[in-house]
Structure 1
Amino acid sequence: MPYYPYLRARQYELLALRELLMAGKLPLQVVPVIEPIRDMPQLRQTLRMFRECEGGALGVVLNPDVGDLTAATDLDSLFDIYGHNEPDPLIGERGTIFPAVLLNNDATTVAQQVQNADSALMKDRGIVFVSENDRGRIKELRNFVFHAVAASDSERLTRDLKRNGIVAKRILFSDPFIKRENNAAYGEEEYQDEFFSDDHLWYTDKYEGFGDYSIVGDNYDERGGMPKAVALHIVYFDDEWNLRVHHFVSDVSDDAHETPEKFVQTVRMLDAWHIQRNDMKQAHQTIGLQKLIGHAKTGTYPGLPTIKKLCIMHHLELMGWFLSERPDR
């Protein structure tokens, strides 16, 4: 059953997907869904790579809620972005780019347009993302046909869907990453190591797949700047195969020039932690983890976006390893 990581298609997130795909570390059980925030070459290149990948599948949100494309309800314009002027923009020769729809003001219009263009696209692969805030629009799901609803395990949402006669398949969708007020807060003893998720262990009871926002969280913020502390968020499996997240946090200072030094401090913490876990059955050496530890050995600083990219790569590859190998059985 698939794992659907939801990413906002920032440049470092697109690079994470592309590097995993090129390395063959994104198995069929991992089906990313991206919400494009702007039209940029990296977006088109990523779509092309998934379209050309044997068995690859990528969900693309057609009615984004954030970024520069939120006002674009002209599906022809969106298809130009997603399909790069190809005759069948959401279908590739070997891989598939399938439609994803957010249950916002544009949902019905966009879904109907996709359905009119190719009824099989929404019916066979289309996913509608529903949140608690969307409860007032659930009845609109009756206006078009789609494959699955991605929603939380809320009993209230379940009753709303049933009350409105929505019988589509369900994808368990959550946001397990706990957002703190700043990076330094993750270094506090009570937060340094936290439970992340066990959805991968039980979702098959009621759902056909599960998804989350990876270690980024649902919060969307384009603001940059140098943090007072550098933090690495590394997920790992415990003895019971629950997913936990360990936060490696540097010293705190207001000096932006110390950011490279702070990063090296955190990856050396990660290296020491990894050495202790290296022989455990739950440990798995991912590309992202290898590259982060490599920076600990060389004392180099790749930049904050690359750090985020490597942490996401680690999470997605780790989930792919678990779902393809099922080492818990």
Structure 2
Amino acid sequence: MYRPYFRGKQFELITIRETAPLLAAKGFIPIIEPVREALGGLGKTLQALVAAGSRAIVIVNPYHGDHQEDGGSITKLLTDDYLGNDAISAGILLRRDMTADNAMACYKSHGDHHPVFIHAGFSEPKALATALGDELQRTANVFIDTHATLLYRKHFDSSERFLVKDGFKRQKNADYDPVEAFSDLHVIYKDLGMSGFGDFLTVGDAYSEGGGPAYAVAIHLTFIDPDRDDEMYIYHFVSDTNSTPTDPAGKFAQALAKMMAKLDSGDSKITETTAITEFRELFEKQHFPGLGSGPIK
């Protein structure tokens, strides 16, 4: 049902490993686009998922990162360790620079890895659907919302279909409103003829290799609002002192204090997950765990 899209940086892979039992229990299947040349972290992550009884889709032709020109080492990893293993599927990323012939060649070369098409700018849907023929109904197709109109998706009506939408409106941390809408796909995906849905979590689809000190620190937290048709919203808890990149620990404490105030208000609508428990422990200990790498804010 749920297909969260991850770029395979260190923190994303750690997140998947640590939540592997939860992913398995809920039937969530992460899509992973490897972006780092070294695949050791990816290998450990896939092992953790399989051990937990979970599944994953690994993109074999990434658009971003170190494997952009050649995904051969990713294919080798899948062949060496997961050939014939239904838990790990090869994701074929369909971009604008690919033809239907390119897509079919990649599909056939990964036939033993239960290939899944990820539609992200591809311009020949009719030709691909025609080339697949009777195999189309046995394929799975994931559509990135901004690149796949309703007319585009109709070519794959007979297949298993999933829609991924980026609900995270990225901007400078200091500029976020306290709360805003995130997604309603989990409510309406069946009405759209989809078998499931996905998103880019609270990271967004934008990819950046750069990073730097944060002028503002923001903690992003999603929640479902039962008073608004179960639509998902996102809180942005932002630090107050944002004029210089100094004192990230102090800024984190400010953002965390705002989060705790909302949690303890009684009207946050936030589910008390294990992640919330960790945030509470950080607040009680006044501990700064460090900031993950990302674009300058």
Fold-level similarity (TM above 0.5)? yes
Q: CA deviation at 1:264?
A: 1.0
Q: Name structure 2 gaps, 5 residues minimum.
A: none
Are 1:78 and 2:70 counterparts?
A: no
**Change in CA separation of 1:153 and 1:60 when aligned onto 2, cut-off 3 Å:** closer
**What per-residue deviation string (whole Å, max 9, x for no partner) do you get for residues 155-183 of structure 1?**
97232344x57632221221111111x11
CA distance in structure 1 between the aligned counterparts of 2:8 and 2:187, rounded to whole angstroms: 27
CA distance in structure 2 between the aligned counterparts of 1:90 and 1:286, rounded to whole angstroms: 35
Are 1:184 and 2:186 counterparts?
A: no
Equivalent residue, structure 1, for 2:149: 157
- 5 Å matches for 1:85-164? 85-86=80-81, 89-92=82-85, 96-104=87-95, 105=97, 108-109=101-102, 112-116=105-109, 118=111, 121-122=113-114, 126-131=115-120, 133-134=121-122, 136-142=123-129, 143-144=131-132, 145=135, 147-151=139-143, 157-162=149-154
CA distance in structure 2 between the aligned counterparts of 1:243 and 1:65, rounded to whole angstroms: 29
Equivalent residue, structure 1, for 2:275: 288
Equivalent residue, structure 2, for 1:5: 4
Equivalent residue, structure 2, for 1:208: 195
**Change in CA separation of 1:194 and 1:112 when aligned onto 2, cut-off 3 Å:** same
**What per-residue deviation string (whole Å, max 9, x for no partner) do you get for residues 227-254 of structure 1?**
1000011001113321110100002345
The amino acid that maps onto 2:278 is K
The amino acid that maps onto 2:44 is Q
Conserved? CA contact 2:216–2:245, under 8 Å: no
Which deviates more from structure 2 when the two are superposed, residues 221-230 or residues 144-153?
144-153
Question: Taking every aligned residue pair, what percent have the same amino acid on both sides?
Answer: 27
- In the alignment of these two chains, the number of paired residues is 283
Q: Name structure 1 gaps, 5 residues minimum.
A: 308-329
CA distance in structure 2 between the aligned counterparts of 1:161 and 1:255, rounded to whole angstroms: 47
Q: Greater relative contact order: 1 or 2 (C-alpha under 8 angstroms, separation 6 or more)?
A: 1
Conserved? CA contact 1:90–1:98, under 8 Å: no
Structure 2 SS opposite 1:18 = helix
Equivalent residue, structure 1, for 2:266: 277
Conserved? CA contact 1:103–1:137, under 8 Å: no
Conserved? CA contact 2:24–2:52, under 8 Å: no
Conserved? CA contact 1:230–1:266, under 8 Å: yes
CA distance in structure 2 between the aligned counterparts of 1:80 and 1:276, rounded to whole angstroms: 52
Conserved? CA contact 2:61–2:71, under 8 Å: yes
Conserved? CA contact 1:90–1:96, under 8 Å: no
**Change in CA separation of 1:155 and 1:25 when aligned onto 2, cut-off 3 Å:** closer
**Change in CA separation of 1:98 and 1:298 when aligned onto 2, cut-off 3 Å:** same
Equivalent residue, structure 1, for 2:161: 170
Equivalent residue, structure 1, for 2:65: 67
CA distance in structure 1 between the aligned counterparts of 2:290 and 2:51, rounded to whole angstroms: 30
Structure 2 SS opposite 1:261 = helix
Structure 1 SS opposite 2:258 = helix
Conserved? CA contact 2:178–2:236, under 8 Å: yes
Equivalent residue, structure 2, for 1:15: 14
CA distance in structure 1 between the aligned counterparts of 2:92 and 2:23, rounded to whole angstroms: 27
CA distance in structure 2 between the aligned counterparts of 1:170 and 1:62, rounded to whole angstroms: 20
CA distance in structure 1 between the aligned counterparts of 2:156 and 2:169, rounded to whole angstroms: 33
Are 1:267 and 2:256 counterparts?
A: yes
Q: State TM-score, norm by structure 1.
A: 0.77
The amino acid that maps onto 1:267 is L
Conserved? CA contact 1:90–1:99, under 8 Å: no
Out of 216, 220, 231, the position equivalent to 2:207 is: 220
Equivalent residue, structure 1, for 2:47: 48
Are 1:27 and 2:25 counterparts?
A: yes
Q: CA deviation at 1:27?
A: 2.4
The amino acid that maps onto 1:115 is K
CA distance in structure 2 between the aligned counterparts of 1:213 and 1:271, rounded to whole angstroms: 25
Conserved? CA contact 1:73–1:106, under 8 Å: no
**What per-residue deviation string (whole Å, max 9, x for no partner) do you get for residues 194-237 of structure 1?**
01111111212211000111111100011111110000110011
Conserved? CA contact 2:141–2:162, under 8 Å: yes
**Change in CA separation of 1:11 and 1:100 when aligned onto 2, cut-off 3 Å:** same
